[in-house]
Structure 1
């Protein structure tokens, strides 16, 4: 999971921050098209697995279609809040805010599933968050600016992102627990992406990005391979995500994804020559110690 999404993160940074062709070209700025392409690819792949390879003939017995839609909608809303927040706060600021996602996941587990957690688990989530804050604060130019209405709007959007993101993982975990005998990982992948593809397409059209994104893709052949690898990594990652949530729960998944964020930044620092200071190394030690203890 970490390997897949580290590659995914590096590709995303390449696609959104570098030019096509290199140096003299244009930047690809259509983030909602990335979301749509990921969802569409995953839908096609899981449909092939379910209905051609596994020969499934219909809907999963005993599972309410609307129950699956809740996590699909919340997942799309979390993506929307994440990208909209970038209009008001910087990317490093956003990543810092997301460093503390473990705690919201645990709180959501308490609300949805009445899960109980040991005191040390809350402490681990705090240590990991502090470690990521130290690391990011040393390797990124974190600028909150003069705090005003725009920054407040960004913080509200990030708060909503954490809420929707926490709900998504815990609800999927609840669905797997409730329908463990009937609901396979590929079923969740297909039906979640069925809803997400339709909703993300509506968003893409509403934001007037579809025509522009397609025109960019057709005009720049260099981006084709990046799009293919980006979507493949996303699909494989989603399969492993659902398996992890099904077998180990949303909190373990959140810990893995926290490590993924850290590793993505480390790889980004190496590939794109961002500096890592002593404070950053100390933050890295905090994160690994917390996760190792957990």
Structure 2
């Protein structure tokens, strides 16, 4: 009986769930790896014809050539006035701000509700949803359909990247999302949100590893301030201090570190793909979500998890609507992210999302009653102050470099 209890606890633990998911993903990655190696070593494209199969293999393994790239610029017959342009920009900025806030604040509230609260139905049954991977799947399938539909009706640059390269950031994106949902079983939502705000640190480390990127002194200073703020918040959390019913555990910390590491790799790898192949943001969104749907659906089918998750969805109608709205918010949030970055740049986007993180903590504390001490509040303020300081220093440095470049250009003309 004791052995059965230990085995049951092991299979229900997050470690066992993680290992099982990784094993299922390997059934896609391992055959895919050997297929890619076969096509490359056998020089299939050189001896194949020009049919559909050759085009598919070329797109997946080699990517399309860069020549004859179509332009995406549409000539304008009449230039808009400066006043109208400024007004339009203000309207766009407000729309992006509201779209991101509504999408991700709603998404955060539902995420916490789904993973931490019990569901009831009219028959008096009580259930608690536990399959984080199913939530990742329903989020990604809707995002893939939206991005694919947009690509079909819009003009896009010629796609040149080997499609298989999206699988790396797709895998890390799946794992970061899985960690995000799973962490809520062990830590509070405010702790998770503040950990997201602290992901600058693993992003810098991953940037060094993946892209050999160099950082300015202020980036290291703000990273240290964020670390101190996060530590103060964790020490000041009253829930972390309690021994009975503790929510901040070693497992939660490990999962959050995993989330930040995977998320850091995702952004750096996608940045590398953008710089090498110049694809559009929607093409990136479609490629990443395609592999995410492939991996999660394969894993769910192999673990026979689709049936229980769907049964839970229809047993508890409230969960059905929560999951549906969660997926819509996730998909529309991604579209707002890409649009905001393309129109206003990453700095404005970071400021908007930083504000969103602060509001998410406040909203979670108000709705779900998470207590935070004075030390925890100081930690939160220190983290967000460091983030805004980082954005300010980045902009000031760019302005100084631009002035120096302009001054150097003027002196060379003399």
TM-score over 0.5 for the pair? yes
Rounded Cα–Cα distance in structure 2 between residues aligned with 1:199 and 1:111: 26
Choose which of 184, 208, 225 in structure 1 pairs with 2:321. Answer: 225
5+ residue gaps, structure 1, are 146-150
Counterpart mapping for 1:94-243 below 5 A: 95=192, 100-139=198-237, 141-142=239-240, 158-180=256-278, 183-242=279-338
C-alpha separation in 2, matches of 1:210 and 1:143:
38
**Residue 93 of structure 1, CA deviation:** 11
TM-score, normalised to structure 2, is: 0.59
Residue matched to 1:40: 141
- Note the C-alpha offset of 1:228: 2.0
* Equivalent residue for 1:290, pick from 382, 386, 398: 386
For residues 288 and 160 of structure 1, the distance between their equivalents in structure 2, rounded to whole angstroms, comes to: 22
Please state whether the residue corresponding to 2:286 is helix, strand or coil: helix
Q: Which of structures 1 and 2 has the bigger CA Rg?
A: 2
Q: Do the aligned residues in 1 keep the contact of 2:226 with 2:382 (CA within 8 Å)? A: yes
Distance 1:60 1:136 in 2: 48
Counterparts of 1:60 and 1:132, CA distance in 2? 44
- How many Å separate the matches in 1 of 2:298 and 2:179? 16
Comparing 200-209 and 11-20, the one that deviates more? 200-209
For this pair of structures, how many residues does the alignment match?
282
State the distance in 1 between where 2:274 and 2:131 align: 34
| Structure 2: unaligned runs, 5 residues or longer | 1-99, 244-248, 391-414
Could you give the per-residue CA deviations for residues 117-161 of structure 1, whole angstroms, max 9, x where no partner exists? Answer: 11111111221232233234434522698xxxxx87776655444
- C-alpha separation in 2, matches of 1:224 and 1:86: 20
Q: Distance in 1 between matches of 2:259 and 2:250?
A: 14
